[in-house]
Amino acid sequence: MELKPFEKRLYLSSPTMHGDELKFMTEAYETNWMSTVGANINEAEKLICEKIGCRDAVALSSGTAALHLAIRLAGERLYGQPKVGHGVLEGKRVFCSDVTFDATVNPVAYEGGEAVFIDTEEDTWNLDPVALEKAFEIYPEVKLLVMVHLYGTPAKVDEIRQVCDRHGVLIIEDAAESLGATYKGKQTGLFGDYNIISFNGNKIITGSSGGMLLTDNTDDANRVRKWSTQAREDAQWYQHEELGYNYRMSNVIAGVIRGQIPYLDEHIAQKKAIYMRYREGLKDLPVTMNPYDEANSEPNFWLSCILIDRDAMCRQVRSEKDVLYETEPGKSCPTEIFETLLKYNAEGRPVWKPMHMQPIYRMNPFITRSGSGRARSNAYIQENGFNDVGCDLFDRGLCLPSDNKMTPDQQDMIIEIIKRCFS
């Protein structure tokens, strides 16, 4: 196969519009509902409730805003309302997924809490319930967990829920990447005590930005609606008894989301076809795809990723921001594939760098199956085997172009490029 650079960049995941989005945005413009109130917001909330099966969905400016307000709901329920100017989690520890985008855990810090990172399991690349149980031996006082479904793959929800119930812990479920994915036939976004989704531009459906808090508790939904509009009290004048935020979704953005929701299942089918095509096309290489529990879950296949077998890794050394590798016949590494894809105008990305390895969170506790763990160097891992799963996934894992507009021919070229990296 002759390889030449793609004329247009192939992305990990870019927005796919269908036409109705523009119609609903135009409607907002023509009716002058250019604000955080309007029919698009009401409809988008209603459509998401119908799709997911929750009683209430609160449309917000981002998934991060939804997580922040979920933290505030959980924090006030557990610890009471803080004095103004103080975080609701001040002095409190919160268990968190470790391999995730930092937006999952930053709201814990916004509210003064300390994230305790829980290592990852290898079956779904999500929070490890065994490490979670271990964490309660070390921090029995913890009352809150924030967990993610990475790349649209449902976590081991039942096992995590059992551990949390045993210890009386509330769960915030970050389903930002997993909209439309199911676990045991139930949509993600229904498993936490508080749940969020995102409509960021890279997500499976998008509003360009936006997020929602999902709940079956209408009182919680009403509190979040109020907080998201500066916590105005019901009075003629601006009256405030609680701290508020400007977190409500715009009616223009909601128009885009309203137009996208009917296409969620189509996008999932396209993403699944991409995943399966990679799995088939790469099956003779020393790599595996990001795994999922085929008996119990159906991911939304948002991003397809590969993990290179340990003995097929060429030498790769990463510093904080730079990386070097040495080519070796028959071997490769995420960096070599990433850089080669880039030469052909295609986007890859290393698996999300674990939170416990991030400079901002490096001093936070990190718990593995064997207890308290710390990030180690690649050299240490090569000599002693990996000591934490997240670090290992980061070392050997790469997200591949997973855009649902990618054609089979283009994907065949990506597969060929990857094959040549191992030749």
Ligand X SMILES: Cc1ncc(COP(=O)(O)O)c(C=O)c1O
Residue 116 or 146: the one with the smaller Cβ distance to ligand X is 146
Q: What is the DSSP letter of 302?
A: -
Residue 62 or 260: the one with the smaller Cβ distance to ligand X is 62
Q: How many degrees, rounded to 5, is the angle at CA 84 between CA 81 and CA 85? A: 120
User: What would the x/- binding string for ligand X be over residues 131 to 170, using CB under 6 A?
Assistant: -----------------x----------------------
Residue 102 or 339: the one with the smaller Cβ distance to ligand X is 102
User: 21, 174, 392, 403: which one contacts ligand X (CB under 6 A)?
Assistant: 174
Chain CA centroid to CA 100, Å:
6
d(CA 403, CA 209): 18
At residue 367, what are phi and psi to the nearest 5 degrees? -115, 125
CB of 181 to ligand X, least distance (A): 12
Q: Is 103 in the site for ligand X (CB under 6 A)?
A: yes
User: 155, 176, 256, 413: which one contacts ligand X (CB under 6 A)?
Assistant: 176
The partner residues of 323 in beta bridges, in order of sequence, read 318
- List the structure tokens of 80: 């009471």
Can you list the alpha helix ranges (DSSP code H) found in 5-62?
Answer: 20-30, 39-52
User: 33, 79, 95, 101: which one contacts ligand X (CB under 6 A)?
Assistant: 101
User: 36, 40, 104, 404: which one contacts ligand X (CB under 6 A)?
Assistant: 104
Query: Residue 234 to residues 60, 237, 241: CA-CA distances in angstroms?
Result: 20, 9, 11
Chain CA centroid to CA 4, Å:
33
CB of 238 to ligand X, least distance (A): 27
Query: Residue 60 to residues 55, 178, 194, 332: CA-CA distances in angstroms?
Result: 16, 18, 14, 42
Identity of the amino acid at 249: M
Helix 334-343 and helix 408-421, axial crossing angle in degrees, nearest 10: 130
Count the site residues for ligand X by CB under 6 A.
14
Q: Is 62 in the site for ligand X (CB under 6 A)?
A: yes
Q: Is 13 in the site for ligand X (CB under 6 A)?
A: no
Asked if residue 123 lies in contact with residue 150, where contact means CB atoms within 8 angstroms, the answer is no
First to last CA, the chain: 14
Stretch touching ligand X by CB under 6 A, among 172-180, 234-242, 250-258, 265-273: 172-180
Q: Interaction with ligand X in 196-215: which residues (CB under 6 A)?
A: 198, 200, 211
At residue 56, what are phi and psi to the nearest 5 degrees? -130, 140
Residue 54 or 59: the one with the smaller Cβ distance to ligand X is 59
CB of 134 to ligand X, least distance (A): 23
CB of 126 to ligand X, least distance (A): 11
Residue 176 or 282: the one with the smaller Cβ distance to ligand X is 176
123 HSE (CA, 13 A, CB side): 14
Query: Residue 379 to residues 140, 144, 169, 383: CA-CA distances in angstroms?
Result: 34, 35, 37, 6
Strands 211-215 and 287-289: unpaired
User: What would the x/- binding string for ligand X be over residues 329 to 348, using CB under 6 A?
Assistant: --------------------
User: 13, 36, 40, 64: which one contacts ligand X (CB under 6 A)?
Assistant: 64
Stretch touching ligand X by CB under 6 A, among 75-83, 100-108, 155-163, 308-316: 100-108
Rounded to a whole number of angstroms, the CA Rg of the chain reads 22
CB of 196 to ligand X, least distance (A): 7
Which residue's beta carbon is nearest to the bound ligand X? 63
Residue 400 or 415: the one with the smaller Cβ distance to ligand X is 400
Binding site for ligand X (CB under 6 A): 62-64, 100-101, 103-104, 148, 174, 176-177, 198, 200, 211
